[in-house]
Amino acid sequence: MHSSSGLLLRFVSLAIAILSFVICMYGLANVMPAIGDFRIGPLPLVSFRASFFALCVVAVALAMYESYLNGKSNVFVALISTVLMFGMLWCCWSFYQISSELDDGMFLFGSNEMWIAVLASVGALFFCWRIWGVPVALLGVVGILYMATGQYWPGPLQTVSHDVNETLAQNLLYSLDTGILGSTFGIVITTVFPFIILGALLEGVGAGDSMIRIAFHWMRKTAGGPAHAAVLSSALFGTVSGSAVGNVVGTGVITIPMIKRRGFSANFAGAVEASASTGGQIMPPIMGAAALVMADFVGVNYMTVIIAVLVPSIAYYASLFAMIVFESRRLDIKADDEFVGVDKPVKQDYLNLLLIFIPLAIIVALLLYGLSPSGASITALVCLFPLSLINPDIREKPVKLIKSLCVGGRTFAGLLMAIAAVSIVISALSATGVPVKFSVLLSSIVSSSLLFSLLIAAFCCIVLGMGMPTLPAYVTVATIAIPAMEQLGLAPLTAHMFVFFIAVGSAITPPVAIAAFAAASISKGGPIGTSVQASKVGIMIFIIPFTFAFNPMLLTVGDSGVPFDFVSWSWLLIKLAIGILLLATALTGFHMRKLHFYEIVARLVAAVMLFAPGILWDQIGISLAIFSWAWHLRHDLKILQKFKGA
C-alpha cells in the first residue's frame, strides 16, 4: 500500500510536469492576455485552469497521505486531506460548468455556489497550512472573513453593502480575474511553472556537487575558505533553484560543517549559508518565482528585470564576501589549502557545469531575441535533455530525469496552494478597496515623505514574509503598498523591485526566518542567534532597496524612472562599494585591528550619508569615511615610524 501510494504520487507529479511541457510546446510564448477567448495551447482557459488545479490538489493530497504512511503526520490529517481532495475536485468541476455558462451570458449566484467557493477556499487553505505553516493560511482566513463581514466593520475599514452569496462565490472561485483560479493563478502557471520544472531538472542532472567542489577549489587560498565557497556555490546554485530553503538544504549540508571547522561559530556558519542562499532569488537570470510575476505585474520585458537586478545582486554578494573577510580577520583565521571531506574537482566536474551554463545562456539569448520567459525556459528545457548525457551518471540512470520532473511537479503543486491563499487575499483587497484606502490614508499622513512610505512597505513585507515563501509575501504587499509608493513619485518597476528585495530578505529576518532556521538545523546553532547573525551578514539586502529607491539609476534601465547617465551611474557604484566596506567593518567591529565604539558609529553614519541622495550628503559621507579610515590607520603608521626609528 505504501509503495502504491508513492507510485501514484510520482505519477501525478509527473503528469503535472508533462502537462506544462505539452502546453508550452503548443505555443505558450504567443498567448494573448484576452480573458474571454484566452487559450493556452489547445485547451480553453476555463478547462485548463480547472484541470490543472485538480491535478495539483490530487498531488498535494497524495503527498499528505504518503506523509502519514511515513509516520510524519497523523491519521486525521490524512483523512481530512482525502475528504478535501474529493470536495475540491467537485469544486473544480463546478468552476468549469458555471464559468462556461458565464461565457454565454449572465448567471445568478446563490448560496449553493457560495458554499462551493468556500469549500474550495477551505481546502486550499488547509493544504497551505500543512505545507507552508500558519501565516499564509491565516491571511486567507482573514480575507474570507473580511469579504463576508466588511459591511459591519467600523470606520474606514467598513465596506459597502453587498450580496454575500455573490461576493464570496465570484471573488473566491467563479472568476477568471480574481479568486483561487484568477489572474494571479494564470500568471503563475504560464510564467513561473516552466521555470520551476527547469530548475528541478537542472538540479537533477548532477551539476550541484560539481559546482560545490569547484567553488571550494577556487576559494581554497582565502582566509574565509569554505565560507567564501558557500557564497559562491549558493549564488550559482540559487539562480537555478530560486528557493532560499532549497539552497540551504542543497549546499549547506556540505558547506556549513566546513565553515565551522575553519574556526567560525555555528551561528555565523549558518548565517553565511542562509544569507547566500537567500540571495539566489535575486541572482539572474532565473531568480525566484516572484521576479517572473513582477515582470507581468509591471508590464515590462523579463530581460528588463534581469538587467535591473544585475548590479544590486552583485553588490549583495560582494557585501557577503566583505563580511567574511573582516570576520576572518577578527578571529585571526588564516588561509588553509586543505578541505577535508571535499574532493578536488576533475575534468568531469567542469564538463558538468555546462549543464548549468548552457541552459542559462539559452534563456538569456532567447530573452534578448524577444521570446517570452515561458518560451525561453521551455526551449532550455528541451535542450537540457540531450545535454544531460554529458554526465555519465545520467547516461547510466536516465530515470533520474523522470524523477526530477516528478520533483518539479510536486514542488509546484505545493507552491500553488500558497498562491491560492494569496489569491484569496488579493480578491478580498480588490473587492473591499483596501489598497485605495491605504493609499489615501498614507497620503493624508505624510504628503511628501517617500522614506516613510518605504519604511511602512518594508515593515509590512517583513511581517507578512515571516514563514512565507517570497512570492506570496511580495504579491500581498505589492497589492497594498505600491499604489501609495507610486503616488509619491516612484516608478512602477522601482517600487515593485523594492518590495521584491525586502520580500526576499524576510527569509533571514527574525523571529521567523525560514532560511536561517533551516541553516541552524544543520549548523546546530541557535535559530534566533543564527537569524540575527544572518540579518547582520546579509544586511545589504535591506539597504540596497532603499538605495535604488532614492537613486533609481542604480537599476540601469530606463523603466526605473530616470534617464541613464554613465558618469552618475559610475559614481553610484563607487559610493555603493565604499558603503559596503564601511558597513562590513562596522558590523564586524574590525578593520586592520579592533574598532572602537566611536569608530563604528562614524562608519555607520558615513555609510548612511553615502546611501542617501544629494551631493551634500555625498560630500559629508566621503569626508567622514576618509577621516575614519585615516584615524584607524594612524596607529599602524605610528608603529611603522617607531620601527624605522629603531
At 404-426, the pLDDT tens digits run 888 888 888 888 888 888 888 88
Helices then strands, each counted (H, E), the chain = 28, 2
- Residue 455 is predicted with a pLDDT of 84
Task: Give the angle subtended at the CA of 230 by the CAs of 576 and 611, to the nearest 5°.
Answer: 15
Give CA torsion, residues 97, 101, 103, 109, to 10 deg.
Answer: -100
Residues of the chain above pLDDT 70, percent: 85
Domain ranges of the chain: 2-189, 565-646
Is residue 579 over pLDDT 90? yes
Question: What average pLDDT does the structure give for the chain?
Answer: 81
The pLDDT-based confidence of 483 (bands split at 50, 70, 90) is confident
* Collapsed DSSP state (helix, strand, coil) of residue 219: coil
pLDDT, mean of residues 75-84: 90
At 148-173, the pLDDT tens digits run 887 777 766 777 767 788 888 888 88
Is residue 538 over pLDDT 80? yes
The pLDDT-based confidence of 447 (bands split at 50, 70, 90) is low
- Residue 30 is predicted with a pLDDT of 38
Higher pLDDT pick, 595 / 7: 595
- Residue 308 is predicted with a pLDDT of 92
At 253-307, the pLDDT tens digits run 888 888 888 888 999 999 999 999 888 888 887 777 788 888 888 888 888 999 9
CA distances from 85 to 4, 57, 82, 184, 623 (A): 18, 6, 5, 22, 65
**Residue whose grid cell is 475599514:** 157
Lowest mean pLDDT among 48-52, 158-162, 228-232, 304-308: 158-162
At 490-535, the pLDDT tens digits run 899 999 999 889 888 888 888 777 888 888 888 888 888 899 999 9
**Residues 286, 240: contact at Cβ < 8 Å?**
yes
The pLDDT-based confidence of 603 (bands split at 50, 70, 90) is very high
- Residue 103 is predicted with a pLDDT of 60
CA distances from 300 to 12, 474, 559 (A): 34, 17, 8
401 CB-near residues (< 8 Å, 6+ apart) = 201, 204, 205, 385, 388, 394
- Residue 241 is predicted with a pLDDT of 62
48 CB-near residues (< 8 Å, 6+ apart) = 23, 40, 41
**Residues 230, 273: contact at Cβ < 8 Å?**
yes
The pLDDT-based confidence of 428 (bands split at 50, 70, 90) is confident
Instruction: Please confirm whether the linkage preceding 469 is cis (ω < 30° from 0).
Output: no
Q: What are 96's three cell numbers? A: 468549469
**Residues 452, 488: contact at Cβ < 8 Å?**
no
Q: What is the pTM of this model?
A: 0.81
Q: What are 277's three cell numbers? A: 542562499
Lowest mean pLDDT among 31-35, 67-71, 478-482, 510-514: 31-35
Lowest mean pLDDT among 206-215, 462-471, 631-640: 631-640
Q: Sign of dihedral through CA atoms 438, 444, 445, 450? A: positive
Is residue 146 over pLDDT 70? yes
Strand-pair partners of 39: 44
Is residue 134 over pLDDT 50? yes
Higher pLDDT pick, 645 / 319: 319
At 353-371, the pLDDT tens digits run 888 888 888 888 888 887 7
pLDDT, mean of residues 455-459: 82
- Residue 40 is predicted with a pLDDT of 42
- Residue 446 is predicted with a pLDDT of 52
The pLDDT-based confidence of 3 (bands split at 50, 70, 90) is low
- Euclidean distance between CA atoms 307 and 585, whole angstroms: 29
The pLDDT-based confidence of 105 (bands split at 50, 70, 90) is low
- Residue 11 is predicted with a pLDDT of 64
